């Protein structure tokens, strides 16, 4: 009997040692004993609709073919603001591993302690992201770039409008859609109008607000439904705000019924970052996915699928795609958007629009 008890004690000791060893291999914060760079799952939160469809086909499916033992669970949201709200609700018990969202919103997440810093050791392809597209504090880098464009009905405008001033033209009153803040499109139009009026939007938007109030009576809707692209394609409106990437995609889908252009006064970059959630339940697999998302293969595939410009230097695009993605070489007139300022001004600007600009 005594020998049997000793044997049981020895077996328990061996099992305990094995468990402790596995726990030690699991890594630090954000990793569990079952977490692995090549197996498990990744809970991803990102955009819905056509973005989800194209990103799944261009990036997620090839990733799954390369890493068949990693499952991707995709939680879709219409906006970065919705993603941020979801992550805030999970802060004390994260259920998400990776978030792809607009950098003005991810900056807020960084400040709120929602994301982890990364480096080239854990995400080697970060090496190919130029310094200008990396977060200065080491948080999630730029994953893809786009810019705000002017959408137009090609039957009404055989030649693309050259100025944002067309939004104020009484000839098109009632045929315009403008996405109001907190949409990035509305925030961007505020900054663009501020520049057009010769003011520094980080100090005041009084002149911009006055101009936007003049435009407001001619706006058919500040919340396009089903969306800003379909409104123009179906003829509900003839002008609107949109993003170049989706504008290019829907232009093809509509047999060029809709066009998208960058007016002379300049535009604003729309930049998406890829972020590792703090204390992510599957941190190791999440880093594997982030590394693939920053690979030349994934970046090129998504540019072909939805016309987003790559953030890495080693992606090579075919000429017909390169000519349609937003240029990042300095050739486009860009209104600098101070993302840290915008993250703090978002709520204030949204309130200004609600109280002073939206009149119906």
pLDDT in tens, 51-99: 999 999 999 999 999 999 999 999 999 999 899 999 999 999 999 999 9
Which of helix, strand or coil describes residue 87? helix
pLDDT digits (tens, 9 = 90+) for 103-141: 989 999 999 999 999 999 999 999 999 999 999 999 999
* Secondary structure letter of residue 174 according to DSSP: T
Confidence of residue 360 (pLDDT cuts 50, 70, 90): low
Mean pLDDT of the chain: 91
Helices (H), 158-278: 184-196, 206-215, 228-233, 244-253
Rounded to the nearest 10 degrees, what angle do helices 206-215 and 184-196 cross at? 110
Please say whether the dihedral angle defined by the alpha carbons of residues 159, 160, 164 and 170, taken in this order, is positive or negative.
Answer: positive
As a whole number of angstroms, the distance between CA 307 and CA 247 comes to 9
């Amino acid at each position: 009997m005594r020998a049997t008890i000793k044997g049981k004690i020895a077996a328990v000791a061996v099992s305990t040692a094995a468990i402790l060893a596995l726990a030690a291999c699991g890594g630090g914060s954000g990793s569990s004993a079952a977490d692995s760079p090549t197996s498990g799952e990744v809970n991803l939160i990102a955009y819905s609709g056509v973005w989800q469809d194209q990103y799944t086909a261009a990036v997620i499916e090839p990733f799954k073919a390369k890493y068949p033992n990693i499952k991707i669970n995709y939680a879709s949201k219409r906006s970065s603001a919705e993603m941020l709200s979801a992550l805030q609700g999970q802060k004390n018990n994260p259920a998400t591993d990776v978030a792809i969202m607009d950098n003005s919103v991810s900056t807020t997440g960084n400040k709120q302690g929602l994301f982890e810093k990364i480096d080239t050791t854990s995400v080697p392809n970060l090496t190919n992201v130029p310094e200008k597209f990396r977060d200065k504090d080491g948080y999630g880098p730029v994953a893809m770039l786009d810019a705000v464009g002017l959408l137009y009905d090609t039957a009404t405008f055989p030649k693309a409008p050259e100025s944002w001033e067309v939004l104020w033209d009484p000839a098109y009153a009632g045929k315009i859609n403008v996405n109001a803040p907190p949409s990035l499109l509305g925030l961007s139009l505020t900054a663009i109008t501020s520049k057009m009026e010769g003011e520094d939007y980080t100090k005041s938007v009084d002149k911009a607000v006055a101009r936007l109030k003049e435009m407001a009576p001619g706006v058919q809707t500040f919340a396009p439904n089903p969306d800003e692209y379909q409104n123009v394609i179906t003829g509900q409106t003839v002008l609107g705000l949109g993003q170049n990437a989706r504008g290019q995609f829907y232009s093809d889908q509509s047999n060029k019924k809709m066009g998208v252009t960058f007016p002379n006064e300049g535009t604003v970059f729309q930049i998406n970052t890829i972020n590792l959630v703090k204390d992510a339940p599957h941190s190791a697999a999440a880093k594997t996915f982030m590394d693939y998302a920053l690979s030349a293969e994934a970046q090129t595939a998504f540019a072909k699928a939805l016309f987003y410009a790559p953030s890495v230097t080693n992606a090579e695009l075919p000429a017909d795609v390169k000519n349609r993605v937003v240029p990042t070489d300095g050739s486009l007139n860009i209104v600098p958007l101070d993302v840290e300022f915008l993250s703090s001004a978002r709520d204030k600007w949204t309130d200004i629009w609600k109280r002073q600009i939206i009149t119906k």
